[in-house]
Amino acid sequence: MFIPMMMKRPIDDRQIIGVKELSQSSLDYILDYLERTKVPIVIWTTLKQREPFFVEEEVWYDYLDRNCIIKWKSPEHCVTLVGFTNENVIVNDPDTGKQEHYDRKIFEKRFIEMGSMAFSFTIDEGDKCLNDY
C-alpha cells in the first residue's frame, strides 16, 4: 500500500513513475544515486544505530513451511535517507520524528548487518527519465 500511494505524490513537482530497487547495493552507490537524483531513499538500519541481535527465545516459523525458521534481527528500523556529508548520513527518522545525523561508518555497518536493503523511486524529468542509473 505504501508504494502505490507514494507513486501518486510528486517529489519537487517531478512525477514518480516507478520504484528503484537498491537492495544489495553498496552505501556508496546509494549515496551517489541520492546525490544524482535528489530522490529520498528508504533504507533499513537499526533503531538509534544500536548493534543488532537475535533473541533466541523468539522463534518464528514460515506458516507455509514449518521447517523454515525465521530469525528476526532486532532492533530493525527503517529511515528515509535525505542527505550526507563525508562524516554523516542525514535521515528523517520516524522514531524520533526529526532529521538525524548518524555517523556514516556506523550507519554503513548497520545497513550491511541488516541485509543491505533499500529502495527509492524513479522520476519523470520531462524529456528524460531517471530510470536507468
CATH topology of domain 20-123: Cathepsin B; Chain A (3.90.70)
Cα(96)–Cα(133) distance, integer angstroms = 32
**pTM across the whole model:** 0.80
Give, as one character, the DSSP assignment of residue 131: T
The answer to whether residue 80 scores a pLDDT higher than 50 is yes
pLDDT digits (tens, 9 = 90+) for 89-102: 999 999 999 999 99
HEC letters along 8-47: CCCECCEEEEEEEECCCCCHHHHHHHHHHHCCCEEEEEEH
Domain ranges of the chain: 20-123
Q: What is the mean pLDDT of residues 73-80?
A: 93
Which residue has better confidence, 97 or 73?
Answer: 97
Cell numbers linked to 101: 545525523
Q: What is the mean pLDDT of residues 21-47?
A: 96
pLDDT > 70 in the chain, percent:
83
